[in-house]
Structure 1
């Protein structure tokens, strides 16, 4: 119910302030608004809108839920909007309702951060005009290379992820597996823990709980776990809580007995790296995603063609190295 109220309030606020405006209006829908990662998307969205003299309607719910995304888009399509950018949680949910409405009204759609699934796009290639964001396979591949860098002899790893249905998480997982090579066989140097992957549904507290449980497992039985690989910001979203929980395991972190790797390189995450509370991060440019989403939607609104895929850069950050990130 809490998320539903947030969606309604944000939606009403966006609509009430712009009904009389003649500016092009572009709706940007993140997975959730309760995330420092998507705060950067909003900043980019607002900056681009100011430059173009258009409106950025940044609307989401506190919980990452595909049905709330679908409702937000459908409700805003009842008013005048000129384009939609969405970070897709579950392709099937959006395709069955809000995307049908957008197509009927000829409202252009782009995705950012997380695209529609390959299966859905194969069935409807015109579903979105462009994907703006990271090469998520390469993202996961770089996390795998970091794991091999810290544990060259291999070991047992566990993946902590967000939404099971999100295509960006699936692509990152595929890239990670490709980097680590064959697993769970006599000839492989890497083995995935039987409990993993573990999903948090983009809930920061649940992500931190999942992380702490697996760190505790390592302390009790070091031979059962060598590397924890988080495919996104996850537990590091709650910086103070993360620092407090992980600080209890500083000894095994300092000795690299248990290696902690994370997705994203927000300023707060880089500070955690500098403090020795993680070993490595692979980061994205969420600000660029929000910024480029508005420019791409505006180009489409003007009848211009756009690239079907616009990749934003990745960076790899390693604790104790100078420079920290490359």
Structure 2
């Protein structure tokens, strides 16, 4: 009798353990460059939608630096996630070189890593399974193509970037420079424009915002005050437009120049707050990414990896939306 009871208890324990295993909930971290950015808010929303659709299979832990990116703080957050032994990490590196240190620890802990929005440096790509996000070089190409239609003879340009160590912004800058120059440079952020095809970069540019939006607006104001006849101003991210009231105040004095196409103000990203400003005459073009899709796809890709399924294609590009005032109502993919 005791023998049968013992066997039944063992079987019950095995069943309980099996059910617990079958119902295991993974924790996947989505790590943006900062958490005060409407671009990354959309990635968060995609991540949370994936969580809801997973029916309890995984939890989206959206965690990152509070403001302005900041490579060191983001690296520390990823190191903490590794120490917590989360089941997977999807990160948009602020500082590609610094992030490699934290991701080496993740690799040693057998925690799968995806990059999104921004990738690692080429020599460190073995530290992640795949990149899911924008073809960043193509953002720069498309920004430059809009500028070329406005200023076919060239001119003086100022490029505004997020950070000198941000791989995605450097790739976008290379796309701008290569397209305007008509010649591909060897590596990011590309060769400075010094007259190629009529294009020259203004002294003091590129400008680096370090993802500080009010700083981005102030840089535009200061630079235009110094060089009011600038031909093109091109931010590689939506930084100034993410503080719309401040940006409106800064750009409105130049609306006539924008309308007459004497100033080619063309900006990356196509969030609603940005599209509103373009429709108000505060830019002549927007080249947008799909951050919601990035947050959504990375979660299910990590789930597949944990379940032993095929990893995502490396890279997996999420597409672009190229918008001008004429196409504003139809340019964004549904």
Specify if TM > 0.5: yes
Which runs of 5 or more residues in structure 1 are unaligned? Answer: 1-20
Distance 2:65 2:154 in 1: 40
- Out of 77, 96, 100, the residue aligned to residue 91 of structure 1 is 96
Number of the residue aligned with 1:29: 31
Distance 1:69 1:101 in 2: 14
Number of the residue aligned with 1:199: 208
- Out of 306, 315, 322, the residue aligned to residue 316 of structure 1 is 322
> How large is the RMSD of aligned CA atoms in angstroms?
1.6
Alpha-carbon deviations, 1:99-128, whole Å to 9, x = none?
12211210000000000012333xxx2x10
Alpha-carbon deviations, 1:236-265, whole Å to 9, x = none?
110111112211222222222212110000
- Give the 3-state SS of the residue equivalent to 1:248 in structure 2: helix
Q: Does the CA-based 8 Å contact 1:139-1:282 persist in structure 2?
A: yes
Q: Which runs of 4+ in 1 moved over 6 A?
A: none
Q: Which has the larger radius of gyration?
A: 2
Distance 1:165 1:80 in 2: 27
Q: Does the CA-based 8 Å contact 1:29-1:59 persist in structure 2?
A: yes
Distance 1:191 1:321 in 2: 29
Distance 2:172 2:123 in 1: 17
Number of the residue aligned with 1:3: none
Residue 215 of structure 1: CA displacement? 2.2
- Out of 212, 221, 228, the residue aligned to residue 212 of structure 1 is 221
What is the aligned residue count?
Answer: 296
State the TM-score, normalized to the length of structure 1: 0.87
- Give the 3-state SS of the residue equivalent to 1:43 in structure 2: helix
Number of the residue aligned with 2:114: 110
Number of the residue aligned with 1:14: none
- Give the 3-state SS of the residue equivalent to 1:78 in structure 2: helix
Number of the residue aligned with 1:9: none
Alpha-carbon deviations, 1:185-213, whole Å to 9, x = none?
4x631111121111011110111111112
Q: Does the CA-based 8 Å contact 1:82-1:108 persist in structure 2?
A: yes
Distance 1:256 1:262 in 2: 15
